[in-house]
Structure 1
Amino acid sequence: MKALDWNLLRAFHATATLGSLSAAARHLSLTQPTLSRQIIALEGELGVELFERIGRRLSLSPTGSALLEHIERMGDAADAFSLAASGNVQALTGRVSISATDTFSAYVLPEILDRIRLEAPQLSVMVVASNDLSDLHRREADIAIRHVAPDRERLVGQRLRDTEAHFYASHDWVERNGLPRSVDELAHSDLIGIEDVERYTAYLNGMGIPIGVSDFRLLSNSGIAVWQMVRQGLGVAAMLREVAERTPGVTRLPLDLPGITVPIWLITHQGLEASPRIRLVQRIVSEELARM
C-alpha cells in the first residue's frame, strides 16, 4: 500500500475531532468543498467509508471511529510540533489569540487590549469570545482567561485572584418592582439565567442559593444577551463585579447572601511559555486583572 498523503489524514482528523466540515475547514484554513474532496479521496484510497452521511451531517462510521484512535497520536504530534515552533518565535510580531467568556471579552478585555497595543504595536491580537473551554492543544487559543483550573496534560495555569458575582437589576426594573432583599424575594424576581439551566441551578444551590429551575423566566447561551436583558429591565441576573462596575444603569441587589466566589485563571500551553510575545501578553493580562 502506498504512503498516505498527510493532508488527507489531517483532513479526516480535523473533521472527526471538531465534528463538522465547516469547523474543520476553518481550523485548517481550507474551503469546505476542498476539505470534502480530501475526505472522499482518503476514503477512496483506503477503500472504506469513514463517515456516515445523513443529509448534510457527518457522523463517524464504526471503521472511522476505529481508525481515529490511531491517527489521534499523529495529530497530537503535529500539534506539539506547531506549538514548539510558535514558542520559539522571538519577534514581538505575529498573532496572539486570547480566549475569554463573551461578557469578559466585551466589558473587561478592551482595557487590557489597549495596553497591549501600546506596548506591542506590531502584535495582532485575536479575541476568541466563547463560553466554552477552548482547546489550547488544538490552537483554538494561545491564552485563555477562565474560571476553572487547567485540566489537560501540558496546560499550565496561574490563579491570578478571585472575584465575585452578585445579582443585579436595572434602575428601571427596581423602580417598578422594588429591591429584593432575601432569597425568597429573589426567586420571584424575573430571574434570567444561562443555558443548561439545570447545571447553572445546581451550581447556585451548591453556593447556598436555593433557586429552582422553574424560577428562571428567561435564558440564553450568551452572557452578553443575558446582561443586555438585565440592562433593558427584563429581570435579574448574576454577573461578575468587573462587568457590572463597567455598566451604567444597573444596581446590585442588597441580598442577604454572600457574593459568589469566582476564580480567575490565566492558562496557556507549555509549548508556548518560551515565546516572548506570549510572555508579554500574559504579563500585561496578569497585571491588569490584578489592578482591576
Structure 2
Amino acid sequence: MRFCMDWRAVKFDWNRARAFLITAEEGSLSAAARALGMAQPTLGRQVEALQEELGVVLFERVGRGLALTPSGLELLDHVRAMGEAAGRVSLTAAGQSQSVQGKVVLAASEIHAAFILPGFLAKLRQSHPGIEVEIVVSSRASDLRRREADIAIRNFRPVEPDLVATKIRDVPARLYATPAYLERLGSPRLPYDLRNADFISIDGSGMFLKGLVAMGLPLTERNFPVLTESYLVMWELVKQGVGIGILDGSIGDAEPRVVRALPDLEPLMFPIWLVAHRELNTSRRFRIVFDLLAAELRARGGPDAG
C-alpha cells in the first residue's frame, strides 16, 4: 500500500522529523543519538512519537540495527527535503546578518587546530572581540551544507556547487626525526640509508607507505612498527625519538627538537583550501573570519611553499 498522508491535517514537529531522518541515515538509534548529541531514550521517544502521530510504522529491527519500512522509505524523501530547506533557511538568515558579533564554527584537522588556529584566534580576539568561535576538530570533512561548520580548512578541493573555496597554497610535507635518532641510523644522506629506519605511520590503509616509496624510499611494512591515526600523537612520538614522521614543513621546521631527515629530499606536496558555504559570503562576520584566516594560512608559507 502506498504511504499517503494529508499533511495539512498533521501538526508536524520538526524535532521528531529530524530524529527520524538522522536515525534513518545512521542505521541505529545509538548512532543517531551520538550524531545529534542527545540521550538514546530521548531520541527513541521522538521517533516513536512521530510514528504515533502519523499512524504508521517507520522502522523494523534487523539484527542490531534498524531498517526502514516501505512507509519509512517514502517519508524519508519528504523529510530529507525538509532538512535541506531548513538548512537553506538557516544559511540565508546567517548570510543576511551584518553584525560583527556572533558565533562562527571552524572545522579543522587536529594539526591545524593545534598549531595554526591558536595564534590566529589570539589575533582575532583582539581585533574582533564580539566574534565567538567554536572549533570542530575531526579527521573527516565537516558537512558545511548541514551547518556542521561555517568555515573549514581542507586538504582537497570541494566539488559541491554551493560551496566556495579559496586555494591558499601548496604545502611541503617533509620527513623529521630527532638528531639522536638519525645518528643511530648512521646520519643518513640518501634514501637508501633509511632502509632500516622506523617510521611512525598515520595511515592504516597503506597509502602512506606507497607515498614514501613513490618518493624513492626503499621501505616495506616492516619499517612501520608504530601506527596511529592521530597526527599529534605521531608528532610527539617523533619528538621522543621513536622514529621518523612526516609533517607540514612550516610546523616541522619550527620545532627545535627535530631536524629534517634527508633535507635534500623533494617534499610531498599537498594543498590547503579554505571552504565555506556560498550563502555565507553576505555575512560580515563570516567574511571577516574567512579573509583573516586565509591571510594567516598564507603567511605561514615558507620560502619553499608553493
| Length-normalised TM-score, structure 1 | 0.88
* 1:188 and 2:196 matched: yes
Show CA shifts across 1:54-101 (max 9, x none). 45xx44435445543443222111111111111112211221111111
CA distance in 1, matches of 2:256, 2:282: 41
Partner of 2:206: 198
- The Cα shift of 1:186 comes to 2.9
Structure 2: gaps (5+ residues): 301-306
CA distance in 2, matches of 1:116, 1:19: 40
* Inter-CA distance 171–210: structure 2 relative to 1 (3 Å threshold): closer
**Residues 1:263 and 2:271 aligned together:** yes
- In the alignment, residue 48 of structure 1 is paired with which amino acid? V
| 1:139 equivalent in structure 2 | 147
Deviation at 1:157, TM superposition (A): 0.2
Query: 1:1-292 maps to which residues of 2 (within 5 A)?
Result: 1=5, 2-3=9-10, 4-18=12-26, 21=29, 24-25=32-33, 28=36, 30-44=38-52, 45-50=54-59, 52=61, 54-55=63-64, 58-61=65-68, 63=70, 64=72, 67-205=75-213, 211-254=219-262, 257-292=265-300
Change (3 A) 1:165 1:37: same
**Alpha-carbon distance between aligned partners in 2 of 1:105 and 1:30, rounded to the nearest angstrom:** 26
- Aligned-partner residue type, residue 128 of structure 2: A
Please tell me whether the aligned partners of residues 168 and 251 of structure 1 are also in contact (alpha carbons under 8 angstroms). Answer: yes
2:282 aligned counterpart, secondary structure? coil
RMSD: 2.5
Alpha carbons of structure 1 residues 264 and 34: separation in structure 2 relative to 1, 3 Å? same
CA distance in 2, matches of 1:277, 1:23: 33
Q: Secondary structure of 1:190's match?
A: coil
Task: Tell me if the contact between 2:156 and 2:273 (Cα under 8 Å) persists in the aligned partners.
Answer: yes
Kept in 1, the 8 Å contact 2:253–2:260? The answer is no
Cα deviation 1:94-136 (Å, max 9, x = unaligned) = 2111111101111121111111111111211111121211111
Distance 1:198 1:164, change over 3 A: same
Larger Rg: 1 or 2? 2
Identity within the alignment, %: 38
Distance 1:23 1:113 in 2: 33
Name the CA distance, whole Å, in 2 between partners of 1:179 and 1:83: 55
Q: Which runs of 5+ in 1 are unaligned?
A: none
Label 1:159 to 1:67 Cα distance change in 2 as closer, same or farther (>3 A). same
Equivalent pairs, count: 290
24-33 or 34-43, larger mean C-alpha shift: 24-33
Q: Deviations over 1:197-250 (max 9, x none)?
A: 323334445566564444322111111111111111111111111221332301
Q: Give how far 1:19 is off.
A: 5.6
Structure 1 counterpart of 2:140, one-letter code: D
